Amino acid sequence: MTATILDCDPGLDDVMAILLAARTLDLVGITVTHGNAPLSATLRNTRQILEFANLTHIPIAAGMARPLLRSPQSALEIHGQAGLGGVVLPEPSIALHELHAVDFIIAQSHRTPGLQLVPTGPLTNIATALLKDPSLPQRLSQICLMGGSTGAGNTTPSAEFNIYADPEAAQIVFTSGIPIKMVGLNVTRQVPAMAERRAQVRAIGNQTAILAADLLDFFSLQVQRIFGLPGGAMHDPLAVAVLLDPELVQFQPMHVAIELRGEHTYGMTVCDQRPIASVELDADASVRRSIPPNAQVAIAVNTERFWELFLNVLATYA
């Protein structure tokens, strides 16, 4: 099994990713970044969830508190003022790892060449590690990230939150040469936690599943209130699930560029979906030659298959 670091910003759907990854991947650590809430909250939330679910053997490393260049963003209107909706958990006692998240990623890449990263928040930790150690791509097998979209955004009409929160970091990651799987809004929104799915989660009956159901209830209520959608999408756990089941999600190779200057498109993932990526054109051709793909981009998902996997994993908890 491939050694994995989950890089996250809990956040309600990040909790689902943690619960799924901890039971199914060789999870050598969790690195935490700013994003859905400030770093102080995302760190507390990560520690609380690991203690609640008896996962305290997994190291937690504190990461970057702000984006590379811009002011910090957050999504508290979706995730609640503490980042975990209305759920109140005991103050955590688990200690943080002695290394900063950036150094933890670099150190683990030396310890386990072929390491894979699963970022489910802004890409600041990953980009900073790449800036600090330019040889890092040689030791990573892939990055499977939740972020971006082939179409509409959610934070702006064109930009998804994780990319919008630090587009400059995303630019560094997408131009790093590391094999990338991009799991974006265009597929994650096809896996909503509708009321009947939340009832299935709650019916599992263990305390971890009941907590997950409570979090998904809050998430879905906020998404319905703000966007008019009937259920919170399972954004982050889907980025974990694609590593577990190769038949779950269909991918297509594309070149993904990060828009850094557009007045209305800042933070957009510009996905070249034209079927001409390998065609050589004359200099005077009316269609510009596509840039070679730099990512495998998710385009379709088997929703039933995802929920079967997720529910089965939740059933393994106490």
What residues contact residue 228 under an 8 Å CB cut-off, 6+ apart?
Answer: none
Query: Contact, 72 vs 107, CB < 8 A?
Result: no
Encoded tokens for 157 = 């009409």
Q: Among residues 34, 79, 100, 235, which one is catalytic?
A: 235
235 is catalytic: yes
In this structure, the strands spanning 115-119 and 3-8 are parallel
Q: How many whole angstroms separate alpha carbon 294 and alpha carbon 282?
A: 23
217 sits in the region (left: phi over 0; alpha: psi -120 to 50; else beta) called alpha
- Residues with a catalytic annotation lie at 235
